[in-house]
Structure 1
Amino acid sequence: MSRCILTFPVAGETLVGTLDDALGTTGLLIVSGGNEVRAGAHRGMAMLAARLAKAGTPVFRYDRRGVGDSSGDNRGFRAAQDDLLAAAAAFRAAAPHVTRVVGFGNCDAATTLAWWGRDAGCDALVLANPWTVEAAQALPPRAAIKAHYLAQLRDPAAWKRIATRGLSLGKLIRGLSRVATREQPSDLAQRTLAAIAAWGTDATLVLARGDGTAIAYADAARHAGMTPHTVTIDTGSHSFARPGDAAALEAVIRQALSAP
């Protein structure tokens, strides 16, 4: 295995990527979410790439325009199609022995891959906590707020606090009433759910059980009647940063990489 830094052009700008090369013919393309650099939260993606490459999987990750080492303006995930396509092409050019590509992304990077992964030549995807919430909507998402209040009502300790006036039952009821009305799914949610559905069995969903973004996605998918292959990791960390999270996430990715 070896690690190298390379650059490639997109719309007059220069993007920077990192290739952890190995001899395997199935490669992993990591797309960073939000404004996160290609090393990932707490260097999680850099360490993941090193472990996978050591086991024989080539891994490519990159900074989109305006993020990290790449030039240009950061226009968000909605404008990241050209960056993704160029990164996939750069990956294949730098590692021509790769014949199958699995894409992995968290949050809006998962949405990016769901929308344009086919165009980029990805054969399969691992999508963690897909972003389905419009920026104008209140955060945390309504589904996450509802889940919080329901968890309070199921918690014996919460009822004890109510009995001792440490927690207001009226507040719980008012909170639930504010989120009881079902909102219509946003255009973003509908587009993302349709894109994920189109991948069929080639997409694996990974959800952090207590994460608001994951809860919002799961709520939208449930109401849409979608049941894609989903693995839920028992964590509240959006970036899978708690003890045991990285190993659980890596196990899912390795399974997708080894699929025929």
Structure 2
Amino acid sequence: MMKNSQETPVNFKCGEAQLQGILHQVEHAKQGVIMVVGGPQTRVGSHRMFVQIARHLTRQGLSVLRFDYRGAGDSEGEIQSFEHTVADISAAVTFFKTQYPKTNIALWGLCDAASAIALFLKTEQVTSINHVVLLNPWVKQPATEAQAYLTHYYWHRLRDISFWKKLITGKLNIFRSAQGIAQQKALANQQQEDSFVDGMLAGLQQYTGQSHLILAEQDLTAQEFCQLRQHNAQWKTLTFSSEITIAGANHTFASPRWKQQVAEQTFNAIISS
């Protein structure tokens, strides 16, 4: 399906701040996508990732909204940490519904934007959302971060020939490395206090729509999320409507091939159910 679309600058209110965005309009679209921004980024995304994926989706007949949080990019207000961007997402959902009152909405987010979406799922506006697409969700905590380093970083170092060359030639401080591993083990065994991760779990557990997970194989953030699901009893019970890992991909899916895979997987997930 190839449809013509129009990219229109838009603005809408979040509290007293005016948020700026781009609406990729498709006439008679039955499904819309709101792209939520993560990290210190704007609606363009790293290496224009958000722009390119939005254009791919609109060519397939989906309307897409990209927007800047308060204090980011062209939007007014004070910059917010991702735990406090639920109001921004809510404002975007409200605006989108005024433009397409009969269109279903999917929320799409990378890294801490995926985390913010999970927190948003606890709000009353969740009834407007029929899909969420989460890429490399951010769940960084001392224990899960340490476990990810132990399982992936240190294990890969042991299989790296350069590690052994440094060890044999005396260029590697083995005592410092051993101390680092011991510290990571201690952190991995720590009990976690309540955090935003608990809020994410609560949102995902009560969400009745379709949830989709896209992970990058070569990304510690994604690996930390996998560690959480493997080792936390409550997260173990959480299931997603679809899950995929993109081989070789880094955190922001930097290559054209990886971005194309993300775009295709996003579209397939949203229209398949």
TM range (shorter): 0.7 to 0.9
2:246 maps to: 233
User: Is residue 199 of structure 2 the alignment partner of residue 217 of structure 1?
Assistant: no
C-alpha distance in structure 2 between counterparts of 1:210 and 1:197, whole Å: 27
**Superposition pairs of residues 236-251 of structure 1, within 5 angstroms:** 237-251=250-264
1:224 CA drift (Å): 1.6
Contact 1:37 1:68 in 2 (8 A): yes
C-alpha distance in structure 2 between counterparts of 1:30 and 1:171, whole Å: 43
Question: Which amino acid in 2 is paired with 1:110?
Answer: A
Contact 1:205 1:228 in 2 (8 A): no
Secondary structure of the 1:45 match is: helix
**Superposition pairs of residues 58-73 of structure 1, within 5 angstroms:** 58-73=63-78
Range moving further from structure 2, 243-252 or 107-116: 243-252
How many residues are treated as equivalent by the alignment? 256
Secondary structure of the 1:61 match is: strand
Q: Any idea what the Cα deviations from partners look like across 1:40-80, whole Å, max 9, x if unmatched?
A: 11111012111211221111111111111110111221221
Paired-residue identity, %: 27
Correspondent of 1:183 among 181, 190, 213: 190
User: Is residue 98 of structure 2 the alignment partner of residue 87 of structure 1?
Assistant: no
User: Is residue 50 of structure 2 the alignment partner of residue 42 of structure 1?
Assistant: no
User: Is residue 116 of structure 2 the alignment partner of residue 112 of structure 1?
Assistant: yes
1:14 maps to: 18
Q: 1:214 to 1:141 in 2, by over 3 A?
A: same
Q: Any idea what the Cα deviations from partners look like across 1:67-101, whole Å, max 9, x if unmatched?
A: 11110111221221111111011112123352x21
Range moving further from structure 2, 180-189 or 33-42: 180-189
1:170 CA drift (Å): 4.5
Secondary structure of the 1:180 match is: helix
1:192 CA drift (Å): 2.1
Q: If the length of structure 1 is used for normalisation, what is the TM-score?
A: 0.87
Contact 2:53 2:260 in 1 (8 A): no
Q: 1:153 to 1:193 in 2, by over 3 A?
A: farther
Q: 1:55 to 1:154 in 2, by over 3 A?
A: same
Q: Any idea what the Cα deviations from partners look like across 1:1-36, whole Å, max 9, x if unmatched?
A: 111011111111111121101133011110000121
- Structure 2: any 5+ residue segments left out of the alignment? none
C-alpha distance in structure 1 between counterparts of 2:175 and 2:256, whole Å: 36
Contact 1:27 1:257 in 2 (8 A): no
1:195 maps to: 203
C-alpha distance in structure 2 between counterparts of 1:251 and 1:184, whole Å: 39
- Structure 1: any 5+ residue segments left out of the alignment? none
Contact 2:56 2:263 in 1 (8 A): no
Question: Which amino acid in 2 is paired with 1:195?
Answer: G
